Amino acid sequence: MEKEDQKLQKGLGLHARRSIAYVVLTIITFFCLFWFYILFINATRSNGQLQAGFTLLPGGHLMDNWKNLLAGTLPVWQGLINSLIISTCSAALCVYFSTMTAYAIHAYEFRLKKFIYPFILMVMMIPTQVTALGFVQLVSKMKLEDSFIPLIVPSVAVPVTFFYMKQYMESALPLSLIEAARIDGSGEFHTFNAIVLPLMKPAIAVQAIFTFVSNWNNYFTPALILHDDKKKTLPILIAQLRAADWLKFDMGQVYVMIAFSIFPVIIVYLILSKHIVQGVALGSVKG
C-alpha cells in the first residue's frame, strides 16, 4: 500500500508540474503573440483612429493604408528585394563559412589551435559601433558605397555563429566519423559538404534564422553605406517614413509597412523550423 501511495503521489506531482509548465508556456505565448496582434490591428486603422486611442478591434482602412503607402515616393517593393538579397546572401555565407571554420578547429591539430579559439571569442566582444568609422572609411576608399558587397561579404566571419557551431559540433560530430571518411578516401571538401553539413542541419537552420533576421532588421550599417533610395533596405525606408513631415505623416502607413516587413521573416522561420524540430527529435531518440 505504501508503495502504491508513493507512486500515486509521484504521478500527481508530475501531473501538477506538467500543468504548471503548460500554464506558464501559454502565458508566455500569449504575451509574445499579443504584440503582433496589436501591430496588425493598427495596420487596419487610419491615422485619425490611431491618434484617437487604443483599441483591440480592427479597422477598415488596411487597403487604404497600403494604397497610400505605394502611392508615396518610397520604393517599397525595391526595398523588399534589397533586404531579401542582403539577408539571404549574408545568411548563406555566414552559416557555411562559420561551419567550415568550426570544422577546421574541431577536426585538425595545429600549433596555434589553442590561441585561435579564444582570439575569435575576443573579437566577438567588440561592438559594431566601435569599428563603424573605420569600416565606412574603408568602404569609401574602395568606392563601394551604395553597394551590397560591404553588407554581404563581412558575413563570412561572424564570431557568434562560429561559437555556436563549434559548441554544437563538439556534441554532434565525433572525430572517429571524420577519420573513417578519410580512410575511405574521401577528400576534405567532400567530407565537409557530404558528411559534416548534413549532421549540422539543426544548428545551420537555427543560425540561418538568426542571421537572416539580424540582417533583415539591421539599420545601423546599411544606413551608413546606402544613400540611394533604390538601394535602401526596408528598415531605412521605415525610418524615413516615420521621420516624414508632420503634414505628410501617417501612422497607418507606418504600421502597414512594419507588418509588410515582418512576413518574409515569418516565412523563413516556417521553412527552416522543421529542421530544428527534426534535430531535437533526432537528439532525443539518440539519447
In order, the DSSP letters of 89-109 are: HHHHHHHHHHHHHHHHHHH--
Percent of the chain with pLDDT over 70: 90
Residue 72 has pLDDT above 50, yes or no: yes
The grid coordinates of residue 83 equal 533586404
Nearest of 194, 166, 193, 167 to residue 103 by alpha carbon: 166
- 286 compared with 14, residue with greater pLDDT: 14
Quick one: average pLDDT of 22-27?
91
- In the CATH scheme, what is the homologous superfamily, with its name and number, of domain 65-286? MetI-like (1.10.3720.10)
- Which amino acid does the sequence have at 72? G
**Does 162 have pLDDT greater than 80?**
yes
pLDDT in tens, 241-281: 887 766 677 888 889 999 888 888 888 888 877 766 655 44
Picking from 35, 75, 30, the residue whose alpha carbon sits closest to that of residue 255 is 35
pLDDT at residue 1, rounded to an integer: 54
pLDDT at 160: 87
Q: What is the pLDDT of residue 285?
A: 38
The CB density around residue 146, as the number of other CB atoms within 10 Å, is 14
What is the secondary structure of 233-263 as a DSSP string? -HHHHHHHHHTS-TTT--HHHHHHHHHHHHH
How many whole angstroms separate alpha carbon 233 and alpha carbon 235?
6
Is 160 exposed, middle or buried (CB count within 10 Å of its CB: 0-12, 13-18, 19+)? Answer: middle
For helices 201-217 and 76-107, the axis angle rounded to 10 degrees is 140
The string of pLDDT tens digits covering residues 111-127 is 877 888 788 888 878 88
Binned at pLDDT 50, 70 and 90, residue 178 comes out as confident
Q: What is the pLDDT of residues 43-70, one digit of tens each?
A: 999 888 888 888 888 888 889 989 988 8
